Amino acid sequence: MAGDTHEDGATAEPTTIRPGREFEREYRLDAAAAGAFLVAVGERLRDGDSLTIEDPDGEWTLPFDFGEPVELELDYEGAGEPELELEVELPGRTGERAPDVS
């Protein structure tokens, strides 16, 4: 995905969101687009141990190495206008190794 173009015509690289930084974005999508996003995340959870989320406008990229266990929370509010909230929390993977014992 392309970023902004500089005056010299070069394309700007997206900002990479790194550990130690707070970052939050919210999107309002139709059900099909949200479903496609969730399927893509689900496939990465099933098949790998990392994923990268990219801004549709090419402004940022968020690489993330995840560990276990993955926390899944379902919250249903049935009073008034019913609402179902799905939350997935992925713990980060540190890549650290245990110390040696001799």
Distance between CA 42 and CA 44 in Å, rounded? 5
Report pLDDT digits (tens) over 53-98: 999 999 999 999 999 999 999 999 999 999 999 999 999 987 778 8
Q: Indicate the pLDDT class of residue 2, thresholds 50, 70 and 90.
A: very low
Domain residue ranges in the chain: 27-89
CA atoms within 13 A on the CB side of 60: 9
Q: Average pLDDT for residues 9-35, to the nearest whole number?
A: 90
This prediction has a pTM of 0.78
The answer to whether the Cα torsion of 14, 17, 22, 26 is positive or negative is positive
Q: What is the model's pLDDT at position 9?
A: 55
Q: What is the model's pLDDT at position 3?
A: 47
Q: When comparing pLDDT for 39 and 97, which is higher?
A: 39
Distance between CA 64 and CA 77 in Å, rounded? 31
Distance between CA 91 and CA 42 in Å, rounded? 15
Strands 15-16 and 60-65: parallel
Measure Cα distances from 12 to 31, 68, 80 in Å: 31, 35, 47
